[in-house]
Structure 1
Amino acid sequence: MQTEIYPWGHNKRYNDFPGFFKRKFSERIQKVTIDAGFTCPNRDGSKGTGGCTYCNNKSFNPAYCTPKESVTEQIEKGILFFASKYKTQKYLAYFQAFSNTYGELELLKSLYEEALSHEKVIGLVIGTRPDCISEPLLDYLETLAKDYYIAVEYGVESANNMALDAINRGHTYEEAEATILATANRGIHIGAHLVNGLPHDTPELMLEHAIRLSNLPIETLKLHQLQILNHTTMAKEYEEDPNRFHLFGMEEYIDFVIDVMERINPDVMLDRFVNQAPPGWLIAPKWGIKNYQFVAKLEKRLVERETWQGRLYKKS
């Protein structure tokens, strides 16, 4: 029986970003996380305080990652952490914690260039908010992109402004669209995140959000199921009124992700489907499986449903 080849050039039923990355580079590339001590405008008072209600950065920062150490020191510790697993590889410096473009341009340049000066670092992945980007910064990143792999990942989270208000996000979906369009055509790799299950978001709305976002000039899309984490404002809200939230069951979420896959732009690469909080951090939902196990179940369900990414896509 002949295996079908899909528009993205292989037989996986979705356009997977990790596979693309392996094909793009001749050697293994690993992201090494950096906490450069940034904050966010909804934390420092410029747009609000307390940050996003679901956010606890400690739940995903590696142990080697602390703003008390320099960018170079964190890279060295990250490389040492991965050295026992992989013999030869290059690295992307992943500025992950909080909003990593939220600062004066000269400070940002010094941090990014310190990372790029490391002999094993071939590029940057910068996680940020769509309201923390300026034209001069985009011009600078465009220049860097001529010589390095430069990616900016925007936390869009939802296309529903009521949901964004409910999580104290501090920006609108329209701002996210405008920023993505301003970043396009500069040689910068653009990623976007969506959180599925926020207050005021129904599964039908979440599906529309993914479709709408996939029609923008993004390269990658990360999907996350909403998780209620300890030591967050949302944990208190969940304790008071759990019915405010749509927390997916695992099987329900698998089918939801496939519904998304079928309808989004097949040119957009899918980078991630789920969050996985460390032990002790997660309140709900508790699925009890690891990321790779979820992906295996997802791929099996795609076969069972005889479907693939973009099968029902209608170009906007």
Structure 2
Amino acid sequence: MDYRGKPYYSLDAWCKNTYGEKLYKIALDAGLTCPNRDGTLDSRGCIFCSAGGSGEFAAGNRPGSGKPAAPLSIREQLEAGKKLLEGKRTGSRYIAYFQAYTNTYGPPEYLASIFRQALAEPDIAGISIATRPDCLGAGVMQLLLSLKQDFPGKFIWVELGLQTIHEETARFIRRGYSLSCFTRAMESLHKAGIPVIVHVILGLPGETEEMVLDTIRFLNRCGIFGIKLQLLHILEHTDLAALYREGKVSVLSLDAYLSLLLKCIAALSPDIVIHRLTGDGPKRILIAPSWSGNKRNVLNTLHQRMKLSSIRQGQCYESGTFDSLQIDCAVYVGQGHLPPDHSPDQ
């Protein structure tokens, strides 16, 4: 495979290898909610999740409000997103990214309507659906299969927010489902031929370097199409923000994050597409880490370190050795234990 000059398999390289051009993502708000917010599982969401349900950059948001607006139609959001991208286009097609909240958590008829609206647009190459593994019932799977059949020239991806394979951490962040639920969802999606992108958060409270690498090794065996490696952000109006202000959790420095990220990239199977290597939380609600606001600097520094250290994606995966990569990396809060005086279920 052609990495297009980078030491890792980026989404940009995959798009150019597959379509001969760059594809631009347009984030969408479908007006849905989440079982972790509507009372089905909880009403507070995951402890790191903002009020916008990770959809602050969606085209359906009211500018400056910090909250989802009554969503525009999918078609209107796509047009708004295209206008925002007019100045930087080097390609002619887009990815419709259903980002905010849980995008398979709704009536099948409504889900069919919004996905078909996006796929029907001539310049949409495909759709990416952010959701939870516990929201992929039989009706949703049948819908995905029908979309594949009706739009054979376009891709349909599903993004799952796993974050970690460790159950204690998952309870602490209030993820709301078990690892076995994730593996069952993966089996169903593989059977349907739906490529899966998995979200992983680096720097979760109580997780050591080895725990993070365990998650990467697990995903290598799962046959995932892509991965998003995201640093832990502290955002306003989240339960994590309260813990941060109480001194019960901390965030990684830029050096510690890059050191851990390099080990994850080296441990990752070389054929997994990396869709994200950092994060850019909305500056109006970002508490920490402040360095994450300069995404270009983070990526430039990462590329420089990979070049100087001769690190590339998959080198430890291929050799089967993970201790040969000598990079200093900070140990997280609690040396592998969750913050004191805080129950994972609170």
TM normalised by structure 1 equals: 0.90
Provide the secondary structure at the position in 2 that maps to 1:184: helix
**Aligned runs of 1:73-152 on 2, under 5 Å?**
73-86=76-89, 89-145=92-148, 146-152=152-158
Deviations 1:132-153, CA, capped at 9 Å, x for gaps: 1123322331332333211111
Distance 1:63 1:96 in 2: 7
Q: Give 2:137's aligned amino acid.
A: S
Q: Give 1:223's aligned amino acid.
A: L
Shift, 1:112, TM fit: 0.8
Provide the secondary structure at the position in 1 that maps to 2:122: coil
Shift, 1:199, TM fit: 2.4
Q: 2:9 aligns with which of 4, 10, 15?
A: 15
Does residue 62 of the first structure (1) align with residue 57 of the second (2)? yes
Q: Give 1:62's aligned amino acid.
A: F
Shift, 1:244, TM fit: 3.3
Contact 2:104 2:135 in 1 (8 A): yes
**Aligned runs of 1:108-257 on 2, under 5 Å?**
108-145=111-148, 146-240=152-246, 242-245=247-250, 247-257=251-261
Q: Which runs of 5+ in 2 are unaligned?
A: 62-69, 321-346
Q: 2:272 aligns with which of 268, 276, 289?
A: 268
Contact 1:157 1:194 in 2 (8 A): yes
Identify the residue that residue 4 of structure 1 maps to in structure 2: none
Q: Which runs of 5+ in 1 are unaligned?
A: 1-6
Q: Alignment RMSD, CA only?
A: 2.1
Aligned length: 307
Distance 1:288 1:157 in 2: 18
Deviations 1:85-128, CA, capped at 9 Å, x for gaps: 32762222111000000112122111111222223223211011
**CA 1:17–1:91 in structure 2 vs 1: closer, same or farther (change >3 Å)?**
closer
Deviations 1:189-210, CA, capped at 9 Å, x for gaps: 2100001122232222112111
Provide the secondary structure at the position in 1 that maps to 2:85: helix
Contact 2:266 2:312 in 1 (8 A): yes
Shift, 1:79, TM fit: 1.5
Provide the secondary structure at the position in 1 that maps to 2:96: strand
Provide the secondary structure at the position in 2 that maps to 1:131: helix
Deviations 1:197-239, CA, capped at 9 Å, x for gaps: 2223222211211121122111111011101011111111211
TM normalised by structure 2 equals: 0.82
Q: Give 2:57's aligned amino acid.
A: P
Identify the residue that residue 291 of structure 1 maps to in structure 2: 295
**CA 1:119–1:14 in structure 2 vs 1: closer, same or farther (change >3 Å)?**
closer
Contact 1:55 1:232 in 2 (8 A): yes
Distance 1:286 1:43 in 2: 28
Mean alpha-carbon deviation: is it higher for 133-142 or for 105-114? Answer: 133-142
Contact 2:32 2:105 in 1 (8 A): yes
Shift, 1:163, TM fit: 1.1
Q: Give 2:221's aligned amino acid.
A: N
Identity %, equivalent residues: 30
**CA 1:298–1:156 in structure 2 vs 1: closer, same or farther (change >3 Å)?**
same
Provide the secondary structure at the position in 2 that maps to 1:221: strand
Distance 1:289 1:228 in 2: 12
Provide the secondary structure at the position in 1 that maps to 2:45: coil
Mean alpha-carbon deviation: is it higher for 18-27 or for 284-293? Answer: 284-293
Deviations 1:249-289, CA, capped at 9 Å, x for gaps: 11111111111122221221111111112323211112165
